[in-house]
Amino acid sequence: MSDDHHSSPTEKNAHLPLNEKRMYDPESLDEIEPERLPAGVLKVEAAQAVWSKHAKWGLWFGLDGSTTWQYLYIATSAVLKHSLSGTVSTAGAIIIAVGKPLMAKSADTFGRAETYVVVLFSYVLGYILNAAAQNIGMIAAGTIFYSLGYTGLQLLTQIVLADTTTLRWRGVAGGLVSLPFVVNGFVAAEIAQGVLGVDGAGWRWGYGMFAILIPACLAPVIGSLFWGQHKAKKLAILHNDRAVKRKAIVVAKEIFVDMDTVGLVLIAASLALILLPLGLARSASNGWRTPSMIAMIVLGIVLFPVFVIWEWKFAKVPLAPPRFFKSKTIVAACAIGFLDFVSFYLQYTYQYSFVAVVKYDWSYRYLTYFSLTQTIALTVFALLGGFIMAATRRYKWLMFTGLLIRLLGVGLMIHSRGAKGSDAEIVMCQVLQGLGGGFAAITLQVSAQAGVVHADVATVTALVLLITEIGNSVGSAIATAVWTNQMPAQLAIHVPGNNATLNALLFGSITNIMTYPIDDPIRVGAIDAYEVVMKNLVIGATVVAVVPPFICFFFTRDLPLVDAQNALDGKTGAGEKTGQGLVETPEHLPALAHDSRVQH
């Protein structure tokens, strides 16, 4: 490293405008080109300068999904398209993945508060469309808008937490923000029973009530952010550098470039064209021999390298700046997240359907309790993991331990996912996965955010979550392909009589299967068919889950969790220096220079 690293940040940045800062290679700490702070970052830093501690607590307090996923299975069954619930989930997963960089760009370009408004609109529109759906097309459209709102809320929560907390306590704050899920799990079970039960209001009202509840829930967050920006402007802390009058077409062009619209379209199209045919091919006129299915996959494969070339050579504001890929820690976080989600969604996509068919004596209430067991365990152990990180100021070994425990939970399902598996076995596998997943999830985001400056937080968070959610898309698509190709054959083998019409009804709707008594030969045959297919999915999930712990062990760098927004420049979320950043503390540099984990 050059001796210039020992000069103070003040000296190095003295010639730069106030809204510019030096950027650093995340691994080597070498300086790269100066970069203007995005408008959204300027807004949130200014807001933090005027927020009191009480205002921050109000923001975190304001920071659904506990029941609406169940309505999808019942809604698709209502139109005899239950097998397509996986395809709808895959489409939603693609939106969830691609929507993350879109929302990150929006948060940086326009502001956090403004992007929350877009999230709110998408959520409400998605719920309204689903509530009014009369066919699978409307359900798919509603799921897409819902997914856009969901992914925005998920990403913005991570970004705002990173904006307003130090590395040391970020895991604790993330755990606390998720803690309401513990209560929501029990509330959701009662809501699901009341909505889907015999005398319930029906799945349409299940969607409809959230169109009313979501605006009320997001109001405190949006209000806190807008209030902070307003007060900062009033005190002349925040200046609107876009206030100069310019032609609308010039502004639109800037936004088009800043949002990397071309890159977003390319990656979305590539994913959709590759993954959706996996679930749709069986319903096509000639199956996989249908020309349109083949053409979609080929075009999708061709578009992916086009996307990479665009990002590498032509994008002025790429979704993933090339310097991120010099960091083994960021690349490892992306790979771990991707594989973990592939494994999870291989066995999760049809998990609710499997349990609903096999556990005949479970009401919707108990089905909900079971399905949320992993989420509740993940939430509780994520908070515990946050406290462990705060105490040790490290994250690598906690992540490694979590991934191993998660692997154990997935592997044990090969036995417990059998139709004869006991209730205790099935629930314990969920708890183990939640325990390991809680440790892994809380460390994954922090590991990526620790090695970038504040201006890059939204982008690196979106990158990790984008690739993680692509794992969701891939896992869901593979699960759907396995289900749609193997289940009809298994129903034909195990259901007495091999009646094609009956088998089609059983394949198209879990509610049809659930009407048969548990000792009825038709129900028994359906259970046997479900057992075979589900075991195949779980075996695949276990094989994939073996890899992430090794990636973590060999490639993740254990940066110190300092009392600052990040470990590089050591500044607070309001842009104030703390003296704890690696580029501000020369005593760290000799050790880092000889560390084999640092790339030069």
Q: What CATH number should be reported for the domain holding residue 352? A: 1.20.1250.20
What integer pLDDT is reported at residue 40 of this predicted model?
A: 62
- Of all residues in the chain, the percent with pLDDT exceeding 90 is 14
Compute the mean pLDDT over every residue in the chain, rounded to the nearest whole number. Answer: 75
What integer pLDDT is reported at residue 79 of this predicted model?
A: 44
| Domain assignment of residue 105, yes or no | yes
Q: At what angle do helices 396-416 and 423-450 cross, to 10 degrees?
A: 150
Q: How many angstroms separate the CA atoms of 556 and 386, rounded?
A: 18
Grade residue 272 by pLDDT with cuts at 50, 70 and 90: confident
Residue with token string 């807001």:
47
Cα 186 to Cα 128, 410, 423: the distances in Å are 25, 24, 18
Report CA 436 to chain centroid distance, whole Å.
Answer: 17
| Domain assignment of residue 30, yes or no | no
Q: Find the mean pLDDT for residues 345-355.
A: 86
Grade residue 5 by pLDDT with cuts at 50, 70 and 90: very low
Closest CA to 462 of 337, 343, 555, 329: 337
Q: Quick check: 572 pLDDT over 90?
A: no
| Domain assignment of residue 176, yes or no | yes
Q: Find the mean pLDDT for residues 535-564.
A: 89
pLDDT in tens, 21-41: 445 455 554 444 444 556 666
Q: From 284, 316, 348, give the residue that closes a domain.
A: 316
Does residue 450 sit in the same domain as residue 587? yes
Grade residue 299 by pLDDT with cuts at 50, 70 and 90: very high
Q: At what angle do helices 167-178 and 423-450 cross, to 10 degrees?
A: 140
Q: What is the DSSP string of 152-188?
A: HHHHHHHHHHHHHS-HHHHHHHHHHHHTHHHHHHHHH
Q: Side chain identity at 28, as an amino acid letter?
A: S
Does residue 225 sit in the same domain as residue 303? no
Report CA 522 to chain centroid distance, whole Å.
Answer: 39
Q: Quick check: 269 pLDDT over 90?
A: no
Q: How many angstroms separate the CA atoms of 70 and 487, rounded?
A: 21
Q: From 270, 291, 316, give the residue that closes a domain.
A: 316
CB 512 within 8 A of CB 491: no
Does residue 116 sit in the same domain as residue 171? yes
**Burial class of residue 331 (count of CB atoms within 10 Å of its CB; 0-12, 13-18, 19+):** buried
What integer pLDDT is reported at residue 363 of this predicted model?
A: 76
Q: Quick check: 342 pLDDT over 70?
A: yes
| Domain assignment of residue 137, yes or no | yes
Comparing 233 with 417, which gets the higher pLDDT?
A: 233
Does residue 97 sit in the same domain as residue 165? yes
CB 370 within 8 A of CB 424: no
Does residue 208 sit in the same domain as residue 277? no
What integer pLDDT is reported at residue 68 of this predicted model?
A: 46
Does residue 194 sit in the same domain as residue 294? no
The lowest-confidence range among 416-425, 469-478, 510-519 is 416-425
CB 567 within 8 A of CB 581: yes
| Domain assignment of residue 61, yes or no | yes
Q: Quick check: 44 pLDDT over 80?
A: no
CB 329 within 8 A of CB 551: no
Q: At what angle do helices 457-494 and 39-50 cross, to 10 degrees?
A: 110
What integer pLDDT is reported at residue 569 of this predicted model?
A: 65
Q: How many angstroms separate the CA atoms of 373 and 428, rounded?
A: 9
Radius of gyration of the chain (CA): 25
Q: Quick check: 360 pLDDT over 90?
A: no
Report CA 58 to chain centroid distance, whole Å.
Answer: 24
Q: Given CA atoms 63, 146, 120, 453 in this order, what sign does their dihedral have? A: positive
Cα 128 to Cα 89, 326, 489: the distances in Å are 18, 44, 37
Phi, psi of 32 (to 5 degrees): -125, -170
Cα 108 to Cα 36, 171, 191, 253: the distances in Å are 11, 23, 37, 16
Q: Find the mean pLDDT for residues 95-110.
A: 80
Q: How many domains does the chain have?
A: 2
Alpha helices, DSSP H, located in 197-282 = 203-234, 248-258, 261-280
What integer pLDDT is reported at residue 338 of this predicted model?
A: 94
| Domain assignment of residue 55, yes or no | yes
Q: From 275, 299, 316, give the residue that closes a domain.
A: 316
What integer pLDDT is reported at residue 201 of this predicted model?
A: 59
Q: How many angstroms separate the CA atoms of 163 and 460, rounded?
A: 13
Q: Given CA atoms 95, 101, 105, 111 in this order, what sign does their dihedral have? A: positive
Q: How many angstroms separate the CA atoms of 266 and 299, rounded?
A: 11
The lowest-confidence range among 242-256, 323-337, 396-410 is 242-256
Q: In this structure, how many other beta carbons lie within 10 angstroms of the beta carbon of residue 344?
A: 23
Instruction: Show the tokens assigned to 293.
Output: 């299915």
Does residue 466 sit in the same domain as residue 545? yes
pTM metric for this prediction = 0.73
| Domain assignment of residue 12, yes or no | no
User: The domain containing residue 98 runs over which residues?
Assistant: 36-260+317-593
- Of all residues in the chain, the percent with pLDDT exceeding 70 is 70
What integer pLDDT is reported at residue 106 of this predicted model?
A: 82
| Domain assignment of residue 203, yes or no | yes
pLDDT in tens, 164-222: 788 888 888 887 777 767 766 666 656 666 665 555 556 677 677 777 777 877 787 78
Does residue 438 sit in the same domain as residue 470? yes
Q: Find the mean pLDDT for residues 446-459.
A: 81
Does residue 185 sit in the same domain as residue 206? yes
Does residue 268 sit in the same domain as residue 392? no
What integer pLDDT is reported at residue 397 of this predicted model?
A: 92
Q: How many angstroms separate the CA atoms of 24 and 7, rounded?
A: 14
Q: Given CA atoms 102, 310, 469, 323 in this order, what sign does their dihedral have? A: negative
Q: Find the mean pLDDT for residues 465-477.
A: 85
Does residue 370 sit in the same domain as residue 301? no
Does residue 294 sit in the same domain as residue 437? no
What integer pLDDT is reported at residue 547 of this predicted model?
A: 93
